[in-house]
Structure 1
């Protein structure tokens, strides 16, 4: 009844202001408005949220310092010329020709993850990342025709410059995709960025389901250099938070897997591991169009404490054990990559070995919860 009176008032107003548009009351069928309601029944499509409750905060910007305690380095006797995409000819029993005591390994790390698009049906984040690995090596000893790699590492160190883009694409209130692509330029380069022609790329795609605000899981596939060599691996995501929001997991296997304990909303502890690595071009050994690359990969079991300092600023402190997965080397003819994977029989050009070491990392981050 109220709707009829409202519409009648509007019609009278229009009659006075706009005679050409007005209709005679006797021509209007008011009964058609009898079933109108003031509720909008339009269905709004809802999409899955990017995270679940209780997870560690997402870092927009972070700066940290990484340091390993001393260990021994053993490098094999010879580096061989390239042999196309089939690997080289040095076996696991290659004699050691160069040794050294690594007193310092580490440097500054900068990471960014900036939102470009942040909508309910699409989130795109991009970031430039940099990791410095400097070395201080003493007691270098060469036997016969040593390669001089220890001296190069001592003088130049290793750098990694990375550009990563991540896309969160929900397709329903529970289901979503995550796509991530990255480009890495890694090597002993300086500011001249000479190895720009040996950029390595990685890609990952995960299909996932947000079961509830406390749980999500996903399956996918990745093209990665996490263990130094080019590899294709399945991906398993499993994030869960207990009902009391104290315990949880943050798993993206095999790249990393952590358990989590939340002391409060402003502090938490992660315990688990992360794989870290990339293929690093050694400029001095790269002849012509060939690229001589150290396949650096390491496993890092660790503890990480995160605590809010003020507002969006958090600190994080890590302590763990760096385990050498590979520090072997390949020479890539024409800088073209080949696939060895976990089970390939191609032999390396150098068989190198690093002693394992305790490491520490301390940093500060600008985050969002």
Structure 2
């Protein structure tokens, strides 16, 4: 009898203990009917965007420090006329009397450039950077006639400085097509650490529509408002970057600002050869009477070669050698500090007509890059 009770008790315990197991099995059973209305993801419908670079390009410099120096040359300056907008100025094609000459022993200074990613997404890349360029002068053998401006002495003592803030936006609109927008603010002149005055900040802007044809080729067309050759100008922009099938040869062109051929020795070393235009409009405080701004329109054409080589990891060095050709060193007096457009063909009078003889220059620097 006891045996029968024991068997009955075991049967009850087993049946009760099996309920949680059955319940768990019922909960884990998948009801596939709930997915009947869903469709599989079609990757062909996924929005794809153009990449910001192509293979083989020289590394993008996030941070760069360099030293630039020009060898000796002659400086010839005319007398300064105030106001330049009056009848006493000189036309573009007229020859102004030389009243001041000097032998520049060398011109040079430190340069700092930055290009920091702020936003880096597939549909938007925003990079921003602060940049500084020093153009110091060592001038000897100054000869000045009576009534000379004394600009050689000012340049020898104070030099020229440029503080720049640049923002670049890469905006793809499809897998091949994209826009590049770039805006910059420049404070340029013979100022010191006080950075005065701010009412002569000059701005530049560029917009380019481009196509990434393949991983080895892209091209673009656009328009720029620029001071790259001293005077305010509006110029068309042509971008053409290409890398050969063997990834040895290529071009890096953003005409007219710069144009280079490229030879890649390896992934760790390359050579660029071509030219760059450099310049800005520099305020001379001593000549800027009242609310007017007297500005040297400094512009240079620099044919050059540049060797870039990896040192270790993201650190690269570059060595640049070339020939500095004077594009313009003339000056304007801007009434009320307001800019005007002369372009390549304007006949507005200059307040001072100057010229510099051409010379050899060098630039050596260290960069933190991304490939």
**1:210-268 C-alpha deviation (Å, 9 max, x unpaired):** 00000000000000000000000000000000000000000000000000000000000
CA shift, 1:40, in A, is 2.6
The 5 A counterparts of 1:140-289 are 140-289=142-291
Quote the Cα distance in structure 2 between the aligned partners of 1:32 and 1:45.
Answer: 25
Quote the Cα distance in structure 2 between the aligned partners of 1:72 and 1:363.
Answer: 27
Quote the Cα distance in structure 2 between the aligned partners of 1:125 and 1:342.
Answer: 31
- The 3-state SS of whatever aligns with 1:194 is coil
CA shift, 1:41, in A, is 1.9
Task: Assess, with a 3 A threshold, how the Cα gap between structure 1 residues 14 and 202 changes in structure 2: closer, same or farther.
Answer: farther
Quote the Cα distance in structure 1 between the aligned partners of 2:299 and 2:25.
Answer: 77
Which moves more between the two structures, 226-235 or 191-200?
191-200
Q: Find 1:299's aligned residue among 301, 310, 313.
A: 301
Return the index of the structure with the highest Cα Rg: 2
CA shift, 1:13, in A, is 6.1
Stretches of structure 1 that go unaligned for 5 or more consecutive residues are: 1-11
**1:5-44 C-alpha deviation (Å, 9 max, x unpaired):** xxxxxxx869649xxxx9xx9xx995984x978x532522
TM-score by length of 1: 0.90
Question: Equivalent residue for 2:89?
Answer: 89
CA shift, 1:79, in A, is 2.3
CA shift, 1:88, in A, is 6.9
TM-score by length of 2: 0.89
Quote the Cα distance in structure 2 between the aligned partners of 1:136 and 1:255.
Answer: 28
CA contact (8 A) 2:84 2:349 kept: no
Quote the Cα distance in structure 2 between the aligned partners of 1:227 and 1:264.
Answer: 34
Quote the Cα distance in structure 1 between the aligned partners of 2:60 and 2:196.
Answer: 33
State yes or no: 1:41 paired with 2:70: no
- The 3-state SS of whatever aligns with 2:197 is helix
Residues paired across the two proteins, number: 346
CA contact (8 A) 1:88 1:330 kept: no
Question: Equivalent residue for 1:350?
Answer: 352
Stretches of structure 2 that go unaligned for 5 or more consecutive residues are: 1-22
Quote the Cα distance in structure 1 between the aligned partners of 2:111 and 2:82.
Answer: 33
